[in-house]
Chains A and B, each alone.
Chain A
Amino acid sequence: MIYQKRKQDCTASTTDRSKVALLAIIAAVAIALTVPSQAAPDVDQQADEPDYFNMSIEDLMRVNVGTVYSASKYGQKVSEAPSSVTVITADDIQKHGYRTFADIMRSIPGFYTTYDRNYTYLGVRGFGRPGDYNSRILILIDGYRTNENVYGATYIGGAFLLDVDLIERVEIVRGPGSSLYGSSAFFAVINIITKAGRDIDGIELAAAAADNQTYKQRYTYGKQFAGGADLLLSFSDYHSRGDKLYFDEFDAAATNYGIARHADNEKHYNVFSKLIYGDFTVQGAFVWRQKRIPTAPWGTVFNDNRTRTRDKTGFLSVKYEHDFDGKLGVMARAYYGAYHYDGRYIYPEPYVNYDYAQGHWMGTELRFTKRLGKRHKLIWGGEWQTDLQQDQGNYDIYGIYLDDERESEHWGIFLQDEYQATDKLTVVAGARRDVYWGKAATNPRLAVIYKLARKSTLKLLYGEAFRAANVYEKYYGDGGWSQKGNPGLSPETIKTYEAVLEHDIHDNLRGTASVFMYEIEDLITATTDPDDGLSVFQNIDEVKARGFELGIDGKAKNGVRTRASYSFVKTENQQTHKKLGNSPQDMAKLNIIAPIIKDKLFAAVELQHVGERETLTSHHADAFLLANLTIFGKNIAKNLDASFTVYNLFDKTYGDPGFSEHTQDVITQNGRSFWAELTYRFK
């Protein structure tokens, strides 16, 4: 209680100060980047253009040339949908020292994460719902849908399928994507494109060490063979002893004065393989992760490190992609995926509770792209998935409380037309029909894209999306202990309106401004049944969110790469007229990568401000400003790269809101920590 009070007292001043500071930085950087290149005009060129002849091919490839002249046969992916999009590249990942997918996502305008020292949850534009295992954001790896079929989850922390070092680029598409992707594409679609063997071209070994006896290693082999086949194989292994943690809420003699020892331990390993041959790509990935839980959730024994969760998931996908003379593009995929979770929860002797989930699924998708005349581009296709197994269970030595076996199937068909009405005006209209659990849903999308001038584009976007309730929300119950099922759940739905203005301030600096409004109905929400005190999911909430985002993204002539953004959102539950929990009203982000020695040594700074977030007890987790710093050396010796990162540079004490299973209202996050990594390439 005292702790809570102290936190509230200092909230206001910290928030304002950090907000002002960050805005000032953003403004300063924007000015700094814009001014010099205009002040130094090149004689034969446009006043604000750099001297291209002094640029490397890598830099030239980043120049926005403002025209899309050709019916480029490649690169026209479904994910390049007309939306507000952010792209992160391998270069950003390397130079900022990102270790997990959550690290990447925290730097994206409008996104934030919540870590409860078990899983990391992704929030976007004010939505980070308790009990939602990232089921409202669709995450694709090379087009494969990674969300599993029990919780609809893709874990973005240690249990993420990929080692982030294998990512070539990440495309983050905000707004609903159900008109192309169906369920789960509720708030955003994230497409991850992995590296190919030729990007590695040899063997790459990486070794990293960090505080609290944390070690990581990665072995990657990649090659493009003379026959055209391209192969990538990679294995990563991570182990962290974890820190000794203090929790105020457990500060009593019986619970070791709030200190949990050896209870934050984490281990995971991933395997990834990709073979490209001609038009075929075969991919397989697997991850195993174990996390001990130091927070004593669901009333488990505090400071007993036997309480832990284990997750493993993997997939195999075969894709065929062919372009028939630029006239017809065909993509066909068949996939198989599996997921297993097993949790062990320690209660006072001799009571140990076991919880598990097991999912298997397979499916196929087919997509066609066709140009009709000069002005129409059609995309159509279908998807079918059968969920062979969606089982959940809960038991202990006294009995079985849940043994739920499910199987289901769903399918969808979609059509989209991209109509280039004039040179300036493009209209994209599409819809998808899905059938889930025997219920049908149709989700349309409409986008009007207007080129105002060479340097500015205006997008007006309307979209609808849905998310079918998952088997966890429908059928999970643990025999009257904490939670019960609700088989009657309907899908939740969303309508969104957004206007985006993109402007190229100069060649390598793009500014984006967007205004949006979300209307959600039948939001599936964890509630407590007053009759029995059990947690149950219900379609109750009607939520409205309104907000805006401002951002710049660019690379200056001197090699400085900057991303800066400010986002504001007001969420409101239409029944209670209250702001949602875990919903920061404002966020500001700044990422700068600056070369210290050209092509050799880089410094990357990251600042993140996340506004105050309400907790379940109507208190709040304070606003915070976090700073991370990475020094990256390329080829410090032949074929050897080195990086050193300090996370939470100023050792700021901050926390994320806890969920209903936690005694803690706010879960304190890590203080200052270090990470050192060496990467060696055998060519």
Chain B
Amino acid sequence: MIRSEKTKRNSRTRSLMLMVMALIAVLTAQQTRADDDEASNQEYRVKAAFLYNFLKFVDWPKEKDANDNDPITIGVIGKDPFAKSFDPIKDKPVKNKKVVIKRFKSIAELKKLGETANPQINKQIEAAKKCQLLFICRSEKDALEDIFKAVKNQPILTVGDTDEFIKTGGIINFVTDEQKVRFEVSTAAANHAKLKIRSQLLRLAKRVIEKENEKE
């Protein structure tokens, strides 16, 4: 502040104000410890609904949805944060198809077991390849490259919420902006997977990455 020659009056009101502020701070500090689990549950209920919506705006190549009776499969790899979030999806078909959820073991955890777990990893991955949409949980941060390498060129919509997700080769990544869920899309990765993402969805993306290895 520029020094003012004037002496300050009203220090009483100011200290009163500060006291009130302090009092509020102290009182509220006694409040209950917040339920973080509940919060993140809500976050994932919202994200589950996003995934459901994504199915409507992405077109898979013919070979992937050949049979009309086959359901659309959403796979979840890793430490599943969704809990019961997907429960309402049972009665909500997309493109006239049922949507089913499949859960897969954490590749990152299996990797820690060493070479012996390789057959198990392969089994999980092969099963995961049958999904149309694959949500890769944050627990897989260190296994992202392995997973993407395994599903490379497969028509699978990979979705995650990890910082490095797009850079490593994922297609859609959730970000949180002002406590709201937004998402970014790599059309470069989608092209590799031969998936067509409709412009309605791209328009809503917080960021569209068109070039591979594009920074940010």
- Give me 5 other A-B pairs in contact (C-beta within 8 A), A46-B42, A64-B179 excluded: A42-B88, A63-B181, A66-B179, A67-B43, A454-B38
Task: Mark contacts of B20-33 with chain A using CB atoms, 8 A cut-off: 1 yes-contact digit, 0 otherwise.
Answer: 11001100110110
Which residues of chain B have C-beta atoms less than 8 A from A322's C-beta? Answer: 215-216
Residue A600 is within 8 A (CB to CB) of chain B in the complex? no
In the complex, are the beta carbons of A70 and B175 less than 8 A apart? yes
Task: Mark contacts of A441-459 with chain B using CB atoms, 8 A cut-off: 1 yes-contact digit, 0 otherwise.
Answer: 1110000101111100010
A79 to chain B, nearest CB (A): 11
Instruction: Choose one: B2, B9, B201; the contact of A57 (CB below 8 Å).
Output: B201
Q: List 10 A-B contacts (CB under 8 A).
A: A52-B49, A60-B181, A61-B182, A63-B46, A450-B28, A454-B39, A493-B1, A495-B1, A497-B17, A517-B17
In the complex, are the beta carbons of A60 and B40 less than 8 A apart? no
Q: How many residues of A contact B (CB 8 A)?
A: 72
In the complex, are the beta carbons of B163 and A53 less than 8 A apart? no
Which residues of chain B have C-beta atoms less than 8 A from A66's C-beta? Answer: 39, 42-43, 179
Task: Mark contacts of A61-101 with chain B using CB atoms, 8 A cut-off: 1 yes-contact digit, 0 otherwise.
Answer: 11111111111111100001000000000000000000000
Which residues of chain B have C-beta atoms less than 8 A from A439's C-beta? Answer: 2
In the complex, A67 Cα to B81 Cα: how many Å? Answer: 14
In the complex, are the beta carbons of B36 and A423 less than 8 A apart? yes
Interface residues of B in 20-75 (CB under 8 A from A): 20-21, 24-25, 28-29, 31-32, 34-36, 38-40, 42-43, 45-46, 48-50, 52-53, 57
Q: Which B residues have a C-beta under 8 Å from some C-beta of A?
A: 1-2, 4, 6, 9-10, 13-14, 17-18, 20-21, 24-25, 28-29, 31-32, 34-36, 38-40, 42-43, 45-46, 48-50, 52-53, 57, 84, 87-89, 92, 161, 163, 175-182, 199, 201-204, 206-208, 210-211, 214-216
Interface residues of A in 195-254 (CB under 8 A from B): 198-199, 201, 224, 226-228
A227 to chain B, nearest CB (A): 8
In the complex, are the beta carbons of B53 and A57 less than 8 A apart? yes
In the complex, A44 Cα to B199 Cα: how many Å? Answer: 32
In the complex, A487 Cα to B9 Cα: how many Å? Answer: 28
In the complex, are the beta carbons of B4 and A493 less than 8 A apart? yes
- Return the chain A residue nearest B30 by Cβ: A452
Interface residues of A in 571-619 (CB under 8 A from B): 574
In the complex, are the beta carbons of A497 and B14 less than 8 A apart? yes
Residue A460 is within 8 A (CB to CB) of chain B in the complex? yes
Instruction: Choose one: A74, A224, A326; the contact of B206 (CB below 8 Å).
Output: A74
In the complex, A454 Cα to B4 Cα: how many Å? Answer: 43
In the complex, are the beta carbons of B24 and A458 less than 8 A apart? yes
- A-B CB contacts (within 8 Å), total count: 170
In the complex, are the beta carbons of A52 and B87 less than 8 A apart? no
Which residues of chain B have C-beta atoms less than 8 A from A58's C-beta? Answer: 204
In the complex, are the beta carbons of A75 and B34 less than 8 A apart? no
A461 to chain B, nearest CB (A): 9
Which residues of chain A have C-beta atoms less than 8 A from B203's C-beta? Answer: 198-199, 201
In the complex, are the beta carbons of B21 and A497 less than 8 A apart? yes
Instruction: Choose one: A60, A452, A493; the contact of B34 (CB below 8 Å).
Output: A452
Residue A13 is within 8 A (CB to CB) of chain B in the complex? no
In the complex, A452 Cα to B176 Cα: how many Å? Answer: 20
In the complex, are the beta carbons of A65 and B1 less than 8 A apart? no
In the complex, are the beta carbons of B182 and A544 less than 8 A apart? no
Interface residues of A in 462-485 (CB under 8 A from B): 464, 466
Which residues of chain A have C-beta atoms less than 8 A from B208's C-beta? Answer: 198, 224
With A454-B38, A544-B10 as given contacts, are A61 and B92 in contact (CB-CB < 8 Å)? no
- Return the chain A residue nearest B45 by Cβ: A52
